[in-house]
Structure 1
């Protein structure tokens, strides 16, 4: 489909989805959410790694409050259930690694869209902000799920209630994101990281995602059973055989994602 609110780039196993409404700091409107969902499904079918990033000076400023007759007229429950939930689950349930390359400000639902990814790499000048309480709302788009798990209960509560900005370096120190990178090196760095994953053992990455997500709710016995089942499947893959042969032959593995 032709995209208007995003760009889609595919090359060498890497799908890069760029939020492309820079004039409104890539605010999420209905069209962008629909296109993003379609692009995520497309990428799952042809890529080995997915990257989400933004055009211009922001990653995403959150919900576009002008997307409708008025802010007060927005049916927030419907929008969250029908538009945000499928989009966020497409990231969460995707068997491929998903990287958020946060190129600038990530606020409100935009911050939580970024945090939904498996790995978040941010440029040094980026900031994260749970801005919801400033307009009389609570964090949504998964914010009340990601934040307590990533930064702990006390910090999650403070971020939600005080709506303070968190710098990329602070977010990395807190465990909210994987790493912060100097602005001048940012795009080269995240592309190199994504290229590494695109050449990796894709099935193993999917199993890592599944098992790590399940660990929040499983007890030890259930988690050990899940690990055994997933590892058994991985032990029958081409990439496991290739990895072992490469180790024994003292060479780099040539993974094919199967």
Structure 2
């Protein structure tokens, strides 16, 4: 299983990501998450949905691009990853991310659709690495991130493909709060307990009212995924995809320091072309 779903009470449920070793977003992740989120649409009691990870050092990583063709087919013109984020943004329950580890690409874009994001100060890192691999964000990074951190910071994050630590993410507004790791569980538990004790209709109505002011248009998110898919057909990406992919320990080390690796790799390619 790529995700673990737990119902701790009628009001509270948890989804944990569990695709070892680095929590890539796979076709199975997308399919299983879409099924759970769809089922919860008809849940009349749920008030808080918590997202966390069972994989140390990785909350939810980027797409498994090598197997992109296996991802669920679009329904009514909307791809599954886009539909999941749209559903979460508008669901009557409150989605809460308890983020430890690296959160990049499609994983970061999913986190951006959560209502609240609490990050481990020491262990959470965020990034949009797509441009560094010759594609573009397709899951809402270019639509949601500028609304949170501003145009120039969003451009820096997207164009440089760097990793950002939790302290910077909090300062910029990328996350709700960065909490010392030893306090993260208890802090989120307190928030969840408080929300679960409130009136469900009031929570849902307040969320809907705030949404009117800040959510990007659905059509922009749908278009973004199509633009992402298009870039996977262009020469820049195809040339990189044709190169031998690292394996084993080398691949694992790359995922730990992906933001730094992408910058160094680009500089090496530029130097070789001179």
TM-score by length of 1: 0.75
Query: Which structure 1 residue ranges, 5 or more long, are not aligned?
Result: 218-258
Change (3 A) 1:102 1:17: same
Deviation by residue 1:42-83 (Cα, 9 ceiling, x = unmatched): 344142100111112211111112325xxxx67899699422
Mapped contact 1:10–1:47 kept (Cα < 8 A): no
* In the alignment, structure 1 residue 92 sits paired with structure 2 residue 89: yes
Change (3 A) 1:216 1:186: closer
Take 2:70 and 2:31, find their aligned partners in 1: how far apart are those partners? 17
Partner of residue 67, structure 2: 67
Which of structure 1's runs of 4+ aligned residues deviate more than 4 A?
73-80
User: How many residues are matched?
Assistant: 210
Change (3 A) 1:16 1:75: closer
Deviation by residue 1:151-175 (Cα, 9 ceiling, x = unmatched): 0001011111011211111111111
Mapped contact 1:106–1:128 kept (Cα < 8 A): yes
Which has the higher relative contact order, 1 or 2, with Cα contacts under 8 A spaced 6 or more apart? 2
TM-score by length of 2: 0.71
Take 2:38 and 2:72, find their aligned partners in 1: how far apart are those partners? 24
Partner of residue 145, structure 1: 143
Take 1:200 and 1:88, find their aligned partners in 2: how far apart are those partners? 24
SS at match of 2:67: coil
SS at match of 1:127: strand
Q: How does 1:126-141 map to 2 (within 5 A)?
A: 126-141=124-139
* In the alignment, structure 1 residue 102 sits paired with structure 2 residue 99: yes
Mapped contact 1:15–1:43 kept (Cα < 8 A): no
Mapped contact 2:30–2:71 kept (Cα < 8 A): no
Change (3 A) 1:10 1:158: same
Take 1:39 and 1:194, find their aligned partners in 2: how far apart are those partners? 20
Query: Which structure 2 residue ranges, 5 or more long, are not aligned?
Result: 216-274
Mapped contact 2:27–2:70 kept (Cα < 8 A): no
Of 182, 197, 216, 2:195 maps to 197
Partner of residue 213, structure 1: 211
